[in-house]
Chains A and B, each alone.
Chain A
Amino acid sequence: MNYSRNTLLKRRAEGFKKGWYKFSRNPVSVLGLFFVLTVSFLAIFAPYVSPYPTHASRFVNFAEAGQPPSLKHLFGTDVFGRDILSRVFFGFRYSLMMGVVVLSLVVIPGVVLGLVAGYYRGTWIDTVIMRTTDIFLAVPPLILALAICSVLTPSVFNAMMAVSLMWWPWYTRLVYGLSSSLRTEFFVQAAEVTGASRSHILFREILPNCVSSIFTKMSLDMGWVILIGSALSFVGLGAQPPIPDLGTMVADGAKYLPDQWWITIFPAFAIMITVLGFNLIGDGFRDLFALEEV
């Protein structure tokens, strides 16, 4: 058993090196990484890099409302006289927070349920978990999130909860497939024969072999979660004013198109860059881990 696991770890390390080499040689993936690093940097240091950090909170200055892009306001100002560039930088925070919090909440329960259902495939445990998962998967994700958010008070927190509630089944379904095939592998059977505990088998034998797939899915999902969070804000069910959420900014600006295009276009572009960045990284990771599987 130890021989098999050590061999696997060694092969994984070698695969990672080869994968990273391949990732770094792929200009599109590197571009994605650049986007994500830039967005993360701007989000983390928004109070320091924003030209007008106070514009992200309870600030209005109607004397400067609706200013087009200029040297003073590179992205122009909105109808409340707030600097859009500063609000976009702070908007990255809420977008990234949405992605990180939602994935943090969904990955653990989703993976654990998938592991358990896959390992106990064919039993009542499998039936209960997977049929429940199927029910959630049967409803289109955005519709379910909209329904939940419209029942609750619109807020960033409730939007996160709504997206989380609809997202975990995808991880359960993914890990279920992996777990149910891995349970018949030699190293798992060997662990069972030597009397290893169920938790040891699930989390020490099966889970490590699912990590690459989970990680790839997470990087791809990050963009999707941000997009759905922005969609919820766009329809008024996410972040509420004056929180500088990118989706809310796009929705607010849409009322003033096409004359004051900058109010909508720049936040929309910011969403696109963020989502694109994570998707490109996800593709890169997929290549990286695919190499490892070889």
Chain B
Amino acid sequence: MKGKIVVVVGLVILSIGLVAWGGGPLRATFAWPTYIDPAVGSDFSSSSSLVNLYDSLVYPDAKGDPLPHVATAWETSDDTLIWTFHLRDDVTFHDGTPLTAEDVKYSMDRLTTIGEGYAFLFLGRLASTDVIDDYTVQFNLAQPFGPFLSTLYRLYILNKDVVEANIETPGPYGDKGDYGKGYLLVNDAGSGPYVLKEFRLEEELVMTKNPNYWIPIDVDAPDEVRFIGTTEAATVRTMMSRKELEIADQWQSQEALVALDAMEGVDIAAFSPGTAFYLMMNTRIPPTDDIHFRKAMAWATDYATVVEYIFPGAFQACGPIPQNIPGADPTVFQYYRDLDKAREELALSKYSADEYEIEFHWIAEVPDEEKVALSFMSNMADIGINIKVVKVPWMSVVEEMGAVETSPHIVSIFDSSHYPEAGSLLESRYHSNSAPTWEQNEWLLDTGLDAMLESAINTVDCAERFAKYAGLQHMITALCPTIFLFEQVEKHAYQSAYIDWPTAAGEVNPVMGYNLAARFIKVD
């Protein structure tokens, strides 16, 4: 009897201990900066942060298809212009106040007014947002928009009262002052599974598990999540060996990955997230404004070396859209290295090979990009084109790509779709609206292309929409504004010995940022 009591007491203590202990910390490194304002952030680290701090109406499943989330159900009008969403009534923000339709409307109005981050998904398409009742919200579209439901992954719902209470005036948004941008730079106003604990802008973001989250979170999900702003190889390696880092960033060089893989308890998760690596050429400045000059460079590029040695496991891109994104066309023309064809194109160009020095900017936080840059420099030297390789921090790249005059001849960037459809990347990469963002260095500013893009995206019928996407992919490839180098196999070193990361096990979410949703990760 005494023995049974001891066992029972022991089990009780153990279970209390396990509950109290919860999941260990999850620490991941990222290329910085990170913007946690849903109306500002849109890159990888920002998206990964927003997924954890905020909720959206719908949530992508492993295939990228929308699942009910804050919205339990929705219906559309016959002309697909009116979308009505019914919200859960048990969702509360981090301060305990309930999430209502008014907050959804406020978040959409704020996003489209500020016009940054993911606003381009809705600008020009959304006419208005109406609150029907506390838990029903209606979006009125200006025109049919096929993938509208998927774009709502990027509408992160803000606590209207918190933002309104922290508006600073005067500001650029009239009576809305700064629309809470100053506050949301380092604070959150969300209802997500994690709550912002601390954000040191240049260093790290710390989030803690939301104990009142409306979906039960697994007890082994990390209690604390730290996103650390470094990709420096020696730091990552040291932290990994001391078990102070659970998931390393995707920007580690091949050599660093080999060293990390050799550590006990560390494995490499490799998956294809639908990301492509582009050499974006500025088509508005000489000599890359000449199509023949651009084609000459596309022919002279050694694609095989890049995918074989620099990014092993990756494969050459086939046009602007990665092949695992719905709507990608596998029949798009692929360039290959042919110096004779390169010289033929160069002969047709109005510029001679050595007339200009071409500036090639690569992202300082991604060491392997230097290898691509120097490989490209060597390739171009074979046809007499002089390349100047420039290492630029990510923050500066984003800034310089804001204007056509400051955009370099070529910049190398990874990019992926914001919702799982070809239309997302086609729009963010080539539509005139996205020209002053980091996603487009090409500055195509082609109104004909814009119209075709809008027509495709506005098509509700899926087969018809995908056919239009295919036509656009062929058209863009023919213009050769970009060297479509390869489709990325994203590689992360992670502590396989004590974390259970669904993405590493093959459950890869194709929407950027969702593979770092901490509530699905278990830490022993």
CB-defined contacts of A241 to chain B, threshold 8 Å:
370, 373-374, 389, 391
- The number of chain A residues with a CB under 8 A from chain B is 19
Verify if B256 is at the interface (C-beta below 8 Å from A): yes
Indicate if the CB atoms of A255 and B378 lie closer than 8 Å.
no
Verify if A260 is at the interface (C-beta below 8 Å from B): yes
Complex Cα–Cα for A256 and B375 (A): 19
- Given known A242-B374, A256-B255, contact A62–B234 (CB-CB < 8 A): no
- Given known A62-B305, A236-B391, contact A242–B256 (CB-CB < 8 A): no
Verify if A30 is at the interface (C-beta below 8 Å from B): no
CB-defined contacts of A79 to chain B, threshold 8 Å:
253, 255, 371
B258 to chain A, nearest CB (A): 8
CB-defined contacts of B132 to chain A, threshold 8 Å:
none
Complex Cα–Cα for A257 and B374 (A): 21
Q: Which residues of A230-267 are within 8 A (CB) of B?
A: 236, 240-242, 254-257, 259-260
CB-defined contacts of B478 to chain A, threshold 8 Å:
none
- Given known A241-B370, A254-B234, contact A260–B377 (CB-CB < 8 A): no
Indicate if the CB atoms of B234 and A60 lie closer than 8 Å.
no
CB-defined contacts of A269 to chain B, threshold 8 Å:
none
Residue of A nearest to B393 (CB): A236
Verify if A19 is at the interface (C-beta below 8 Å from B): no
B16 to chain A, nearest CB (A): 45
Would you give the 0/1 interface string for B367-386, flagging 1 where the beta carbon is closer than 8 Å to chain A?
A: 10011011101100100000
Indicate if the CB atoms of B389 and A62 lie closer than 8 Å.
no
CB-defined contacts of B259 to chain A, threshold 8 Å:
259
- Given known A65-B309, A240-B389, A255-B233, contact A60–B253 (CB-CB < 8 A): no
Verify if A169 is at the interface (C-beta below 8 Å from B): no
CB-based A-B contact count at 8 angstroms: 55
- The number of chain B residues with a CB under 8 A from chain A is 26
Verify if A58 is at the interface (C-beta below 8 Å from B): yes
Complex Cα–Cα for A257 and B235 (A): 11
Complex Cα–Cα for A254 and B370 (A): 15
Indicate if the CB atoms of B390 and A240 lie closer than 8 Å.
yes
CB-defined contacts of A60 to chain B, threshold 8 Å:
305, 371, 374-375, 378
Which residue from A59, A257, A259 sits with its C-beta under 8 Å from B378? A59
Residue of A nearest to B386 (CB): A58
Which 8 residue pairs are nearest across A and B when measured between Cβ atoms? A62-B309, A58-B381, A255-B233, A58-B378, A60-B378, A60-B375, A58-B377, A60-B374
| A binding-site residues for B, Cβ under 8 Å | 58-60, 62-63, 65-66, 79-80, 236, 240-242, 254-257, 259-260
A–B complex contacts, Cβ < 8 Å, 11 sampled: A60-B374, A62-B310, A62-B375, A66-B255, A80-B374, A241-B389, A254-B234, A255-B255, A255-B256, A255-B367, A259-B255
